[in-house]
Amino acid sequence: MASKQNVLTPLKPTWLSAERSALCIVDVQHDFASPKGLLGQYGVDMSRLAPAISNINSLVEDAHRIGLPVVFIGLQTSPETDSEAWSEWMARQGKDSTSEQAICRRGTQGEAFYQCMPTPSDKVVLKTRYSAFWQTDLNSWLKTQGIDTLVVTGITTECCVESTVRDAFHYDYHVFVVSDACAAYEDELHQASLRSMALSFALLTDTQSVHAIWGTQ
């Protein structure tokens, strides 16, 4: 039922032009996406992420071909940036906050991008919280590039993708979420998050629709 409610918006080419848009890729990193990463070691099934990562790579190819900026966003944690509130929140649920908070630790393989790699020309944003805008230079960099439109992809849909989308909308960006280039570990969460974003913060599209526009530029 939820998936039927997530209606895609017909796109106009001017909305996603290379002159005004950036492709954003959120948290496609080893600890979040690789079976050998931290969550994979905990037994999280990573197989449902594969189609989204494949779609992201195809969008990156399009963006590079037409000269559209690509932003790789990744989590990078350290003991110095750990959140006391997050630790207490985890502890109150009976979870081990020390091991849970060690995800994407600075200097480890866990923080490295996975199967979708930035080139020297791409912008890389490292964050310490869910949103790519929280205490980073992302907003100021986008403004200096004349970008007012974000095409957002990545994992997980309901967490760091949605947090980034919400903040982007608050900064007055036009936000498009590529529904099949995002993923969560549970489809119900993915669909519910898409529905939430579509109601209040973003327009939903899919990889094929974006290809159709960028293929003509």
From CA 194, how far away is CA 204, in angstroms rounded?
Answer: 8
Residue 73 Cα distances to 9, 83, 111, 127, 184, angstroms: 25, 19, 11, 7, 17
* Beta-sheet strand order (sheet of 70-75): 123-127, 70-75, 21-26, 149-155, 174-183, 203-205
User: In the Cβ-directed half-sphere of 183, how many Cα atoms lie within 13 Å?
Assistant: 18
Q: Which of 62, 160, 167, 180 is catalytic?
A: 160
Catalytic site includes residue 27: yes
Catalytic site includes residue 143: no
Catalytic site includes residue 160: yes
Q: Which of 24, 27, 104, 116 is catalytic?
A: 27
Q: Which of 31, 127, 180, 182 is catalytic?
A: 127
Q: Letter for the amino acid at 97?
A: S
Just list the catalytic residues. 27, 127, 160
